[in-house]
Chains A and B, each alone.
Chain A
Amino acid sequence: MDLGKDLVAASATPLVLSILAEGDSYGYAIIKRVTALSGGHVQWTDGMLYPVLHRLERQGHVAARWRASNSGRRRKYYRITRGGRAQLKAQRQQWQVVDNTLRGIWLKARTA
């Protein structure tokens, strides 16, 4: 089962922010983490992550820095900012509202 396009787009921000809240990371590792966490159900077109990261950077939710990796090439690492954590908290509450609502309806449907 794959997620619909709109849901992928809507969930991208909280997913990326949550992963970065665990620790600094870079694009490829973020994608790997998303795939692992979702058991392969959330599949992003790899390239599409980067515009999202750049948007979050512009909005000040994440900060980026180029760091040398052990392969010798530079890698762009992203770090969540204080604003990003606040944003994550807000998003989390919103998703919980949605989650609770759906859970409520579906629970009732099952018991009825």
Chain B
Amino acid sequence: MTTPADRLTVEEQIAQWRVYLRRRRAIRGPDVEELEGHLRDQVAVLTDAGLEADEAFLVAVKRMGSLDALSREFAREHSERLWKQLIVAPDDADEAGTSTRAETLVVLGLSVAAALAIKVPVLFGLRIGGGDGPFFARNASLFVLPLLTVYFIWKRGSGGVRDLWLALPFAAAAVFANVFPFHTGSDTEALTALHLPIALWLAVGFAYVGTHWFADGGRMDFVRFSGELGIYYVLIALGGGVLTGFTMMMFRAIEMDAGWLAERWLIPCGAMGAVIVGSWLVEAKQSVVENMAPVLTRLFTPLFTVLLLVFLATLAWTGSPINVEREVLIGFDLLLVLVVGLVLYAVSARDPQAPPDFFDGLQLLLVVSALAVDAVALAAIGARISEFGFTPNRVAAIGENIILLVNLAGSAWLYGRFLRRRAPFRILEQWQVAYLPVYSAWAALVVVMFPPVFGYR
């Protein structure tokens, strides 16, 4: 005899079974309904024949066949469903349909707003692509990132007063981007344009994770989101490039110059709107399509490891010194950024419970060889830093080099401990996510301090 207290009711069991079925990509909402109807008919007949309700349920489920086999059959019949998962009408409940429609409208509104925001200064006499290029470069992130933040606040549900605090960094950014009397074509101005988005990205991150910055791997989710957004943005940009190319070509065919259209509308407005649209795509597809960033990481980690090892071997063999030119420091910074990115996305895609495997060893090798290459480069640069003097670019580059070096050294140490099974993988993940604010803090420092310290040069 079973009592309802210790067993799930048949209704609950059916509901659970429906949830399992829904997770199968090849099986859509109406199919679930059809199969559920079948299950209920079967249960009803078996109960009438004298079975207990839960026994009837078990028999009915058994007769239905394994979900794996079933979803395989459905996939064979509806192979297109495995592809067309993005931006399709949701197949579950009706309320999900209206919320998707609402989201589409919000996204549309925000991306149009972002596209128009960059045109607002034009009303005040500034010109895109004219002499006001530096103004737009400094403020580019301010036209779109606040709107992206609004999107996430809307999506995560309002947190009330807390969300108002998020306006603060943007207001501060608007001030620091515009109050300084930069010299024309100065380095500090370029540094501001480069670093402001990095500093503000942290504010976007706070809005993205909602209330759980420190819990549930919220920060790691934001890292995943950033990587996917980068990839989507590049894809959208490629599409935009093709669109622009065709616009130019077709209007040239009727002897009109569409250059102004591309330069003042298509490219700037598209670049802004694409951030919102790209974010929405990443949000919509996150559980549907394999994340690309970890795939690229797996692909390129071995290749970059080989490159670094060959480079080190060549350096040792020939003994030729690194030719310290103006750009070499920035070049090695970018190398470290790339290696940190590879580590970060490898970490983001890894199951923290899994034991060390070959790929973890490869990661450690990559990190160590990157550290070695950078040490050689830094030694060469350090030896001649007095010759160059301290320019804003160089101080920024050295600062970033140190930040990345510390991150990689920490990663190498933790990877080593993990490989020798002295520490769990989670520590490495925690180290990486705890480090995230450092990048933004440094970027904010560059934006706020560098211009006055270096005399707006």
Contact = CB atoms under 8 A, between A and B. Distances in A.
A51 B74 CA distance: 5
A110 interface: no
Interface in B33-90: 33-35, 37-38, 40-42, 63-65, 69-70, 73-74, 76-78
Q: How large is the interface on A (under 10, 10 to 19, 20 to 34, 35 or more residues)?
A: 20 to 34
Nearest to B78: A54
Nearest to B73: A51
Contact of A28 (B33, B41, B65, B69): B41
Chain B contact residues: helix, strand, loop or mixed:
helix
B31 interface: yes
A103 interface: no
Contacts of B78: 54
A38 to B, nearest CB: 16
A47 B73 contact: yes
Contact of A46 (B30, B33, B40, B63): B63
Given A47-B73, A54-B77, A76 B30 contact: yes
A68 to B, nearest CB: 12
A46 B74 CA distance: 13
Contact of A47 (B30, B33, B41, B65): B65
A31 B192 CA distance: 71
A55 B77 contact: yes
Given A58-B77, A76-B30, A47 B64 contact: yes
Interface in A34-50: 45-48, 50
Contacts of B40: 71, 73
Interface in A57-106: 58, 66, 69, 71, 73-76
Contacts, number: 57
Given A46-B64, A46-B65, A28 B77 contact: no
A28 B64 contact: no
Contacts of A51: 70, 73-74, 76-77
A57 to B, nearest CB: 10
Contacts of A47: 35, 38, 64-65, 69-70, 73
A65 to B, nearest CB: 12
Contacts of B37: 26-28, 69, 73-76
B73 A27 contact: no
A45 B76 CA distance: 17
* Residue from the set B34, B63, B64, B70 with the largest chain A CB neighbour count within 10 Å: B34
A74 to B, nearest CB: 7
Contacts of A71: 40
Contacts of B33: 74, 76
A45 B64 contact: yes
Nearest to B34: A76
A69 B65 CA distance: 25
A76 B28 CA distance: 14
Nearest to B31: A50
A28 B34 CA distance: 10
A47 B75 CA distance: 13
A76 B34 CA distance: 6
A27 B38 contact: yes
Interface string B418-450: 000000000000000000000000000000000
Contacts of A55: 77
A50 B76 contact: no
* Residue from the set A51, A58, A69, A75 with the largest chain B CB neighbour count within 10 Å: A51
Interface of A: 26-28, 31, 45-48, 50-51, 54-55, 58, 66, 69, 71, 73-76
The 5 closest A-B pairs by CB, nearest first: A45-B65, A28-B41, A51-B73, A47-B70, A47-B65
Interface of B: 30-31, 33-35, 37-38, 40-42, 63-65, 69-70, 73-74, 76-78
